[in-house]
Amino acid sequence: MAAITINLPLPVLPEGWSAEKDFKAISSLSPATQRNVEPVGPHFLAHARRKRHKRTFSEDERIQAQENVKKVEDDDAGEISEEEDPLMLQRDAKDWKGQDHYAVLGLSKYRYKATEDQIKRAHRKKVLRHHPDKKAASGKTEDDSFFKCIQKATETLLDPVKRRQWDSVDPGADLEPPSKKQVQKGNFYKLWGPVFESEGRFSKKQPVPKLGDEKSSKEAVEGFYDFWSYFDSWRTFEYEDEDVPDDNENRDQKRHVERKNANARRKKKTEDTARLRKLVEDAMGMDERLKRFKKQQYEEKNKKKIEREAAAAKAKEEEAKRKEEEAKLAKVREEQEKAQKADAKKAKEAAKNAAKKNKRVVRGAAKDANYFHEGGDASAAEIDSVLNDVDLVITKVDNEELADLTAKLNGKKGAGEIKAVFVDEVKRLVGAGKMKEGEAKNFS
Amino acid sequence: MSDEEESPGRVAIGISFGNSYSSIAFTTSEGKAEVIANEEGDRQIPTILSYVEGEEFQGTQAKAQLVRNSKNTVAYFRDFLGEDFKSVDPTPCHQSAHPKEHEGTVAFSIRDSEAESENTVTVSEITTRHLRRLKNSASDFLGKQVNAVVITVPTNFSDKQRAALKKAAEDAGLEVLQLIHEPVADVLAYDARPDAKHADKNVVVVDVGGTRSDVAVIASRGGMYTILATAHDYDVSGAQLDQVLIDYFAKEFLKKNKGVEDPRENPRSLAKLKLESEAVKKALSLGQSASFSVESLSGGIDFTATINRSRYELLASKHFQSLKRLVVHCVEKAELDVLDINEIICAGGNSHTPKLSRSLADEFPPTTTVFAPTLSPTAINPNELAARGAAIQASLVEAFDTDDIEQSTHPVVTSTPHLAHAIGVLSISGDEKGAGVFTLMIEPETPVPVRRTAHVAVPREGGDVLVKLCEGVREIKVTKPEAKPKTNGANEDEDDDDDDDDDDDDEEEIREKVWKAGRVLAEMAVRGTKKGSKVEVQVSVGAELDVQIIAREVNGKGGTRGMLDKPAIAQNGSV
């Protein structure tokens, strides 16, 4: 081939660029695609000659070479192999409007998603099986009604206008929206997702946004519902039109039917729009994300108010707590006081008892010492005077001194000893100034 | 006398064997391919055989028999060859002999002898008879006994079908030198023109035949052809275009004649309608209007009507659209964009239809050349393309031994690595600084080994320059038009025109094909170039993707050279 001339200049060599022999290899070529060259034309023959001189491939590699070639021709086999409903096979071709075109071609799992290529291939496959000549060959009667159904289905699906009309009313592609009950069990996204996807096929705007899941951002969710609120649908109901009589018949009749059709279409379209609106509203009503966003937004707006309210609530709570604690404390104290009082009373009682007892002991001691009378019984006067003195001592001492006195008197048997104790006591009392010298005559 | 001069004693022709029509072509001593007319003067010979009282008719005469003798007329049988009955589509044969099953193959029950009883004739026998007739026509024309052929087949012909065709041809006394693909034959016919340049190009061949349409995207690189993608369609075809006219005329007829049987319901009337509709279709390709006239169409009533071209185009627009989609789909399948397509070749008889080629041209950018009789005065008759291509190939391989041909066409030779990316050098564009612009030297999908040379300008002052070799990536740049470019001289044009223009501006985006530099392969320096001279860069890619690069100043001495190793084990086909 002649040299190409490129008029755009080459760049100037950057400064400091150098390499061995002025050449720098950087990388190798990308891997190549293996393809079949057509064995046609003078240039190929030259190529073949060149190539064949070097040929040393074994038979194995020959086969390998063919297998590796990138496939250009499609495989016709496979793909469309749906069971054929025997009822469908008996359909009358005259009733073609009522047939499910996708099911006839075995494309019911693709429906509106089927590509033109798929339809063509499915058609061909069905023709190969159901052509009347084939039936005749296998000895069956020449019944071509299903073949006509196939032709009608293909005609409808291969014409973009007619296909849209059919897709608009294709009952097999519609999905019932889930009920509230179903959604309450959870799985909002799984239940509603396919519904919106199926409705989305009518959108003039493509691609249709997806429902998403609970993690979707606020913008995405709002965008989604915005899209559906302003949904632009191409759905038409021409397919369900009554047949318009041929123009060579009654013209008035024709116009009448046309008007009727137009009205029916309009009505159905309005109904459809209303249906879709309701559907979207239902979905919005059940969408937890919207509620969450609403709450978030509300919170955002009233942040301060809420904070203040929260602070007030907290303060109130603290106050209540404090009061409660105080009350508790007061109660405890009260109880303590009560207990103390009771204790004091008891102690007093005890002291009183002890004093009584001590007095008895002291008086008893005087009695034990036979009222300090030596020999025989003491006279009443002596007894009286001794007892008076003892009582005097008792009245003069307080409880503790009395207890001491009692302790001293304990274990003393002899009259002299007991008297010495009393004498000491009187002396002490006199010393303390509580008694006058000689007041207790018996113990001086 | 000539028998002794030609080495293997071969006289080879090219045959284009179609479902509806066949043609035969030979190569003159000047190397020009010519299509041969048969005894009746037809260059397109209907692929139809008809038997009347034991006499065999072929071509136009047989076609006429479709009306009266449809049961003993065999048509549209090419695609049945080598297939078993359950995988053939008998739809095209509704108005001729119906195919039936016979010992695992397809056959026809016809009365092909004088006897009253029907004979079962297999499709390969029919093919043999048809090819024999073609061979005899060619022999009569050339004055020599033809004994070898190159036959064109569709790209999706299976090995079994090829074998069956070969066998049928051999039974007819023809040695099959090679079977070549129809779209490639079409490209070859164009490339064999004396003034044709073997530029690197991507070609779409659109073949709208009688019963099917085939589209192929072919990469043509220095005269080597590689099919990148194909698409076949049995719904867009000449028969469908005929059907449009049949329906139209039948309705017109019924409108004028009330209470008469629909001519489409009666086989004989339908055959008449079909023949005349096909003639009307052809007439509409040449003239603006055509007349339709059938004697005793239905119920003994003659019918005459006229139709103009625009009405026909309106009625058939659905099919044109469908074909357009098919073509675009095929281009996408080849992982290309419409902007990558340099040429469209319209083949097949229906390419004469002006609207068809125009609607195709609309889908492609203005830079794409469309070869169709109505758009390009230099276009070759689309009916003859395949036959011519076959004849050229026949003249090329005529002298080879059969063994030689077989080995040359074996996958070992034909399966070749093709470059995954373009290769080019970085150069500086006038307005941009620094950033290099990728300049293409070798297109992607070029089979290796390949060698390309480019002469690249040097900067104005000369001096040392850098040659940076890169792989290139093609990108489609989509630019939205700027907000309504208000025309200054709006008053000059008519208002209507202005409105139209504005509408177009609003919707259309400008799509451009841009090359971006990808992986850098090598850098090299050429020192001391003179002012205004050029640097010659030669890139040779070897069979195993090893690269040799030479850069030197044109007419200069020395220069730089270097090698790139082949890539680390690239498994064949693992792309």
Q: Which of A38-47, A212-221, B135-144, B483-492 is predicted most confidently?
A: B135-144
Residues B1-46 have pLDDT tens digits of 333 344 447 889 999 999 999 999 999 888 888 999 988 888 999 9
What is the number of alpha carbons within 13 Å of residue A271 lying toward its C-beta?
8
Confidence check: pLDDT of B345 > 60? yes
- Residues of chain B with C-beta less than 8 angstroms from the C-beta of A12: 459, 463-466
Q: Residue B570: pLDDT band by 50, 70, 90 thresholds?
A: very low
More confident residue, B376 or A64: B376
* Structure-token match 């996204």, residue found: A189
Per residue in B54-109, pLDDT (tens digit) is: 889 998 999 988 888 888 999 999 989 888 888 888 888 888 888 888 888 889 98
A16-20, A261-265, B150-154, B278-282: least confident range: A16-20
Question: Contact A32/B417, CB-based, under 8 Å?
Answer: yes
B266 min Cα distance to partner chain A (Å): 17
Question: Cα dist. B392→B22, B183, B184, B389 in Å?
Answer: 17, 14, 12, 5
Q: Which of A5, A72, A120 sits opposite B230 (nearest CB)?
A: A72
- Sequence-separated (6 or more) residues with CB below 8 Å from residue A268: A237, A240
ipTM surpasses 0.85: no
Spatial separation of the C-alpha atoms in residues A228 and A225, rounded to whole Å:
5
Give the residue from B51, B204, B44 showing the smallest Cα distance to B121.
B51
The answer to whether the CB of A84 falls within 8 A of the CB of A106 is yes
Nearest to A41 among B191, B536, B543 (CB): B191
pLDDT for res A398: 76
Q: Is the CB of B223 less than 8 angstroms away from the CB of A136?
A: no
Q: Taking 60 as the threshold, does the pLDDT of residue B497 lie above it?
A: no
User: What mean pLDDT do residues A284-290 have?
Assistant: 85
Query: Least CA distance to B454: which residue of chain A?
Result: A4
Rounded to an integer, the average pLDDT of B407-417 is: 82
> B352 near B282, Cβ under 8 Å?
yes
Quickly list H helices, A397-441.
Answer: 399-409, 415-432
DSSP conformation letters of A268-309: HHHHHHHHHHHHHHHHHHH-HHHHHHHHHHHHHHTHHHHHHH
* Chain A residues close to B436, C-beta within 8 Å: 11
Closest alpha carbon within chain B to A30:
B420
Of A48, A72, A129, the CB nearest to B413: A48
Closest residue in chain A to residue B421, using alpha carbons only: A30
Mean pLDDT of B506-525: 79
Q: What is the mean pLDDT of chain A?
A: 80
Point out the least confidently predicted range of A11-20, B150-159, B223-232. Answer: A11-20
User: How much is the average pLDDT of A231-254?
Assistant: 80
**Rounded-to-integer distance, Cα A362 and Cα A339, Å:** 33
Q: Are the CB atoms for B276 and B250 separated by under 8 Å?
A: no
Q: How confident is the model at residue B149 (pLDDT cuts 50, 70, 90)?
A: very high
**What percent of chain B is modeled with pLDDT above 70?**
91
Of B110 and A10, more confident = B110
| Helix segments in B370-494, DSSP class H | 385-397, 402-408, 411-414
CB contact under 8 A, A8 and B437: yes
Q: Which residue does chain B place closest to A127, by CA atoms?
A: B89
Min Cα distance A93 → chain B (Å) is 16
pLDDT for the residue numbered A417: 77
Domains in chain A (CATH in brackets) are 62-173 (1.10.287.110), 195-286 (no CATH), 356-443 (1.10.8.840)
Helix B309-333 to helix A116-130 angle (10° resolution) is 100
- pLDDT top residue among B459 and B430: B459
Condensed to tens digits (0 to 9), the pLDDT of residues A204-232 reads 888 888 888 888 888 888 888 888 888 88
Confidence grade of residue A66 (pLDDT, cut at 50, 70, 90): low
Dihedral pair phi/psi, residue B179, rounded to 5°: -105, 125
Contact B466 A68 (CB under 8 A): no
**pLDDT score of B270 more than 60:** yes
Q: Do A64 and B460 touch (CB under 8 A)?
A: no
Residues of A in contact with B520 (CB under 8 A): 26-27
Distance from CA of B5 to the nearest CA of A (A): 23
**Per-residue pLDDT averaged across A27-39, rounded?**
80
Q: pLDDT tens, A90-126?
A: 777 788 888 888 888 888 888 888 888 888 888 888 8
What mean pLDDT is predicted for residues B304-332? 92
DSSP string, B99-133: EEEETTEEEEEE--SSSSS-EEEEHHHHHHHHHHH
Cα–Cα–Cα angle for A273, A278, A284, rounded to 5 degrees: 125
Contact flag A124-B234 (C-beta cutoff 8 Å):
yes
Residue of A nearest to B154 (CA): A73
